Structure 1
Amino acid sequence: MTTSDKLLLTIIMALITFVPATAQYKLVWADEFDYDGAPDPNVWQPEKGFVRNHEDQWYQGENAYCKGGYLIIEAKKERIKNPNYKPGSNNWKESREYAEYTSASIITRGRKSFRYGRCEMRAKIDTRQGLWPAFWTLGEKGEWPDNGEIDIMEFYRGMLLANLAWGSNERYKPVWNTNRKLISTFNDPGWSSRFHIWRMDWDENSIKIYVDDTLMASQEQSKAVNAKNKDITPFKQPHYLLLGMALGGDNGGDLSGTDFPARFEVDYVRVYQKQ
């Protein structure tokens, strides 16, 4: 082998050795939101009405729209009559005659799901009191929480959260891996005014969640097994995506001092698979 051949081999081996981790992945799907109007109906469907967590908002599709290269989920203070209202009902979805706020949650259930890989979102979130933006996934099979929940990004009451949930021995009672980080600990007064990248790396062995390359949560697959419903594998099945901004409810907090509208702005959502 000549000296030049050895040099060439050394360069090739160095390139192989220092290939970045992202080169392991291939982009398999993305929504760049580079169109105007409603989110792509072939991918996203809007949730409607009062949905979960005793939240204050009425979900409606018109509060999610694409403009200027972004998906905008806009929460408004406006009164909407509840068509499901029943005087005297003990069901929170029926006991309120009106919703005082509107917002949107769009999901890919039945249209787009994936198992394993890297899921990434670049977004800017409003971190004022009472707001509850989230980017999360749910498993296709099984009732909650046996189907598995992954909260890639969740915010309320000054905290970023990255959580995972699966089934316990009791129906509808999850086992949580909950991780919180106060926005104030970033020591960046302008943090909420900028875009950030949330990422989930997920394979058959573990799930890791990051914000701007800072690890927020880690979960070993071997320890995330439903205690009772073992026929459902919460994190070894396909999951679909949810993007939305809730208001108030069980965790969001007091909305009375917050001015509206409020926006959750998403630059893109991308899904990669290992080659």
Structure 2
Amino acid sequence: MKKLITTCVSWIAGVGLLVSCQSEKSDWKLVWEENFEQTDAFDPAVWSKIPRGTSDWDRHMSDFDSCYAMRDGKLILRGLVNYTQKNDTSSVLTGGVYSKGKKLFEHGRLEINARLHGARGAWPAFWLLPEDEKWPNGGEIDIMERLNNDSIAYQTVHSHYTYVQGIKDNPKQGSTGLINRDDFNVYAVELYPDSLCFFINDTHTFTYPRIETDKKGQFPFDRPYYLLLDMQLGGSWVGAVYKEDLPVEMEIDWVRFYQK
């Protein structure tokens, strides 16, 4: 009987997740948007340049102006060879912005419309981190990561449960979806108290649910997050940077946040 009850509860929860992820766009109300209509620079009330760090993803971050541009109503973030910044020991430089300390997102649908230009060693990403907890305990939500010139994008979650304990298949930690390499694509995640639902061009790619488990930190995702938009280069996952492919850039047309 206990097994039957558990099965029924899981089935009901699964149906609930499916209904949530298949909700119509008309169910959502646009509550905030960033259209990057400024002509000289991005809005400093929302965005800051990401500082350099020591991880694969941020070890080439720079505030060098050439890594950033506003063009035709789009934010441009670049990865380029360091020819001119003689006091900077990094051979390549990348641009990225985040909303840390300025704009947080919780319980809604977040969408980013962008075109990703390819290069060997290019690793653009859109992702979410919490301000109130260190990694990986607070969780990481990867809305989009793309490698090199791939025609797919990765969407993944990270937490103490997936990273420290290494549980990546119960439930499934991530998935991929097809993208148009030569055009704009819309990457989205729906943030619910009990699940995360991922989309590319309104096609549902996968859902990460909260489950019953005695393991630590399986679903830390019911909290506010800030958004990172960055062009990354090189690292253990994407591989070597081919400088002859640079500069490379991505164009971000808009960011939109909806709530029910």
Q: Is the TM-score greater than 0.5?
A: yes
Query: Aligned residue pairs: how many?
Result: 230
Contact 2:68 2:78 in 1 (8 A): yes
Pairing of 1:148-187 with structure 2 (within 5 A): 148-157=139-148, 158=150, 159-168=152-161, 175-176=167-168, 177-181=173-177
Q: 2:99 aligns with which of 82, 102, 108?
A: 108
1:51, distance to aligned residue in structure 2 (A)? 4.2
| 2:242 corresponding residue in structure 1 | 256
Q: Distance in 1 between matches of 2:87 and 2:57?
A: 14
Q: What displacement does 1:67 show?
A: 1.9
Question: What is the Cα-based RMSD across aligned positions, in Å?
Answer: 2.6
1:73 has 2:73 as partner: no
In structure 1, which of residues 171, 183, 207 is the aligned counterpart of residue 196 of structure 2?
207
1:35 aligns with 2:31: no
CA shift at 1:81, angstroms?
4.8
Q: 1:257 to 1:103 in 2, by over 3 A?
A: closer
Q: 1:228, CA displacement in angstroms?
A: 3.8
Structure 1, 31-40 or 152-161: larger mean CA deviation:
152-161
Change in Cα spacing, 1:38 to 1:226, as seen in structure 2 (3 Å) is: farther
Per-residue CA distance 1:102-130 (angstroms, 9 max, x = gap): 11111101100021111001100123211
Alignment pair present for 1:47 and 2:50: yes
CA distance in 1: counterparts of 2:244 and 2:238, whole angstroms: 12
In 1: Cα distance, 2:87 partner to 2:214 partner: 36
Return the letter of the residue paired with 1:209: F
Q: Which amino acid aligns with 1:122?
A: N
Q: Is it true that 1:217 corresponds to 2:206 in the alignment?
A: yes
Contact 2:75 2:253 in 1 (8 A): yes
Cα distance in structure 2, aligned partners of 1:170 and 1:163 = 12
The amino acid across from 2:135 in the alignment is W
Contact kept? 2:137, 2:160, Cα under 8 Å: yes
Counterpart residue number, 1:14: none
Query: In 2, Cα distance between the equivalents of 1:248 and 1:102?
Result: 11
1:243 equivalent among 229, 232, 235: 229
Identity %: 28
Normalized against structure 1, the TM-score is what?
0.75
CA distance in 1, matches of 2:230, 2:117: 12
Deviation at 1:263, TM superposition (A): 0.8
Separation in structure 2 between the aligned mates of residue 226 and residue 195 of structure 1, nearest angstrom: 42
Are the counterparts in 1 of residues 139 and 158 from structure 2 also a CA contact under 8 Å? Answer: yes
Structure 1 34/258 Cα, relative in aligned 2: closer, same or farther at 3 Å?
A: same
Amino acid at match of 2:231: M
Counterpart of 2:159, as a letter, is W
Residue 142 of structure 2 aligns to which amino acid in structure 1?
D
**235-244 or 47-56, which moves further after superposition?**
47-56
Q: Which has the higher strand share?
A: 1
CA contact (8 A) 1:26 1:273 kept: yes
Contact kept in structure 2, 1:113 and 1:238, CA below 8 Å: yes
Q: Which runs of 5 or more structure 2 residues have no equivalent in the other structure?
A: 1-22
What letter corresponds to residue 79 of structure 2 in structure 1?
Answer: A
Tell me, yes or no, if structure 1 residue 135 matches structure 2 residue 126.
yes
* CA deviations over 1:129-166 (Å, ceiling 9, x no partner): 11000001012221101111111111114241000111
Cα displacement (A) at 1:178: 2.7
Task: In structure 1, list runs of 5 or more residues that go unmatched.
Answer: 1-19, 84-97
